[in-house]
Structure 1
Amino acid sequence: MILVTGATGLSGSMIIREFAQQNMSVRALFRNPDKAQQFHGLSDVELVQGDMLQPESLTAAFRDVERVLMISSARERMVQTQCGFIDAAKAAGVPHIVKYSGKESGVDFDPDKFRGTREHLEIERYLETSGLAWTHLRPSQFMQFYLPGTLAGVEAGQRELRMPIGDSRLSPVDIEDVAKVAVALMRSDGHEGKAYDMTGPEALSMKEIVEQISEATGIAFRYTEISLEEKLQELRAKGMPEPAIQTLNEIFAERSRRPESHVWLQTHRAFGVEPTSFLEFARRNAQAFLR
C-alpha cells in the first residue's frame, strides 16, 4: 500500500487525483474531513484521518504501507512535523519514505538564505540518517503560484503581476507534471538513495511570464517592478502573518541576487513525463487568470 500525507493540500490533492486517474490504489492521510470531501467518489482512494504531529493517530494510516510520499505544509512547523512523522513511520515498520521536498532553481542560490530550503535540507538529512530507505523529489517554484488568489500571483481583476525581483528569471514547474512523476516514482522500484530535481522547461523573466499570460487569455497583462519593501507592505495589507512575510522577504531578496535559473528536465525524461511549458499552463488556466 502507498500512503500520501498532506493529501488535501495543493500538491497532495493533485497527486491523489493522478493516482485515481491511473486507477492506482492509494491511501490519503488528511486532518480536516471537510477538505477530504473532494475525494469522495474516487475509486481506489482510501481516506484515513490522522495528524502527522500525533503518532497515536497514525496506526490505521501505516497499516500494510510499503512506501510513503511525505508532504506537509511549509507553514506549519514543517521540521517538527516531518521529523516526528519519520520516527513514527520507522516505529510502525514502514520501509521507505519519499520526501516531497523543494529546490530553488536559481544559479548559485544559497539554500541557507531561505527558510523553506533550509528546512527541507534539514529534514532530508534527518531522513537520510533514519535507517529507512529514502528518496527526495525536489520541484522548484510552481506555475500555480502565478494564479490570482495566491499571495505572490497576478492581482485579481487588475491584470497585473507586481514583483520585487527585477529582471530575474525563474523556471517554474507545473504541479501536474510533478504529480505524474510522483505517481510513477511511487509505483516503481529502484529509487532508494536518489534525489530527483525538477523545473519547468524554460527560465522566464516576469515580463515574459505576463506576455505568455496575455497570449493565452487574449487580454493584456502587465508586469510592474516594485521594491521589496513595497511588496512586503502589500502582503501585510492583505493580512499575511509576519513569519510568512519574513520568509518571502528572504526568498525575494535571494532571487534578486541570483538572476539566472537552471532548467532541470532529467526527472521528466526519467519518468516519461512531457514537460509543460508556461504558455501551455496559461492556456489551460486562461479562465482562472481572467476571473
Structure 2
Amino acid sequence: MIIENASNSENAVLVLGSTGKTGGRVAALLSARGVPVQAGSRSAAIPFDWTDRGTWAAALAGVDAVYLSYQPDLAVPGAPADIKAFSAAARAAGVRKIVLLSGRGEPEALECEAIVRDSGLTWTIVRCAWFAQNFSEGAFTEFIQAGELALPTGDTPEPFVHADDIAEVAVAALLDDRHAGEIYELTGPRALSFADAVAEIAAAAGREIAFIPLTRTDFVAALTSYGVPTDEVSLLDYMFATVLDGRNSHVTDGVRRALGREARDFAEYAREVADSGVWAVAPVA
C-alpha cells in the first residue's frame, strides 16, 4: 500500500510522478517490499508540483531517497533550472540519494544528468527512450482501439523498453548502494519500427490495426487542428523528428547489467496487454 504521507518514516522514498507509467510501478514495488513511499504528485496528500517550488519542502521532509521523473520531459525549456533547484532542495532536506529517469538521446537530458551528478548526493541514472506502454497507457491507446495509428516515424527502428523493467531497475538503485554512480541505458532486446510494433500488437490482439506513416508537417497540422496546446505540439514534434532519427536504434545491455537478466521482449508485452482487453475495439460514441 502506498503511504501518501511517509515523511516521518525511516528510509522513506519520495516517488515523483507517482501516478505515471514508471512512478506508479516504482511506488507499488517499493510498497510491496515494505518501504514507506511518499507519493509525489499534485493530487497527493502532501502535494508536489514542479511548477510550484513552494510544495517541494514538505514533500521532501524526512525523505531518504528520491525517484526523480520530470514532467513533461527533460527536453522542455526550464528543466535544467528545475532539476538544479530541486537537487539543492533535496540536499538541504537531508536526502541521501536520487535516482533520475533520464531521456535517451536527448542533449537536454544530459545537461540534467550532469546537474544530478554534481549535486553532492548519491546518484544513479536510468536512461530510456520510448516505452512499450505508450501503446497501452498513453495517447496511442485510443488509436490502437480504433484500429489505426498514424505517426511521423518512417522506418526508424526503436528498441521499445518495458516500463516494468524501468521500475525494477529504479527500485534496485533506490534500495541497493551497489548501483550508486551507475548510468543504466535501458532498451528492449530488439529494435522494431513503429509499423512492426503495431503489426505485433494486431497479431496479439487478433484484429486488424493499421499503421499510417505521416509527414512531419501533416502530423503537426493534425495536432494543431485537434486543439493540442502549442508547447505540447512542439515537444511531440521534437520527440518524433529529432530523438527518433536512429540515434537510439541500438540495443543496450542496461537491464542485464542492473538486474542480471534479459530485458522483456515487446512480444511478451503485446500478449499481456492483449489478454487484458485494453486493445479491444473501442465502443462507438
Q: CA–CA distance in 1 between the matches of 2:63 and 2:158?
A: 37
* TM-score, normalised relative to structure 2: 0.82
Q: Is contact 2:21–2:137 with CA below 8 Å preserved after alignment?
A: no
Give 3-state SS (helix, strand or coil) of 2:217's partner. helix
Q: Deviations over 1:235-259 (max 9, x none)?
A: 1222221122122222322356438
Give 3-state SS (helix, strand or coil) of 1:101's partner. strand
Q: Is contact 2:83–2:116 with CA below 8 Å preserved after alignment?
A: no
Number of positions where the alignment pairs a residue of Structure 1 with one of Structure 2: 265
Aligned pair partner of 1:288 in 269, 278, 281: 278
1:243 aligns with 2:231: yes
> What one-letter code is carried by the residue in structure 1 that aligns with 2:55?
S
Aligned position for 1:169? 157
Q: Is contact 1:166–1:256 with CA below 8 Å preserved after alignment?
A: no
Q: Could you tell me how far 1:10 is from its partner in structure 2?
A: 2.6
- Identity across matched positions, percent: 31
Q: CA–CA distance in 2 between the matches of 1:130 and 1:3?
A: 17
Aligned position for 2:107? 118
RMSD: 2.5
Q: Is contact 1:69–1:100 with CA below 8 Å preserved after alignment?
A: yes
Mapping of residues 74-89 of structure 1, within 5 Å: 74=72, 77-89=78-90
Q: Is contact 2:99–2:170 with CA below 8 Å preserved after alignment?
A: no
Aligned pair partner of 1:211 in 194, 199, 203: 199
- The verdict on how the C-alpha distance between 1:221 and 1:121 changes in structure 2, with shifts beyond 3 A counting, is same
Give 3-state SS (helix, strand or coil) of 1:48's partner. coil
Aligned position for 1:19? 30
Q: CA–CA distance in 2 between the matches of 1:57 and 1:63?
A: 11
- The verdict on how the C-alpha distance between 1:49 and 1:273 changes in structure 2, with shifts beyond 3 A counting, is farther
The gaps in structure 2 that reach 5 residues or longer are: 1-10
Q: Is contact 2:187–2:254 with CA below 8 Å preserved after alignment?
A: no
Q: Deviations over 1:209-228 (max 9, x none)?
A: 12211111110112212211
Aligned position for 1:100? 101
Give 3-state SS (helix, strand or coil) of 1:204's partner. coil
Q: Deviations over 1:80-137 (max 9, x none)?
A: 3322111111222222222111214xxxxxxxxxxxx233222112222222222211
* TM-score, normalised relative to structure 1: 0.81
Q: CA–CA distance in 2 between the matches of 1:95 and 1:149?
A: 32
1:127 aligns with 2:113: no
- The verdict on how the C-alpha distance between 1:256 and 1:23 changes in structure 2, with shifts beyond 3 A counting, is closer
- The verdict on how the C-alpha distance between 1:62 and 1:95 changes in structure 2, with shifts beyond 3 A counting, is same
Give 3-state SS (helix, strand or coil) of 1:202's partner. coil
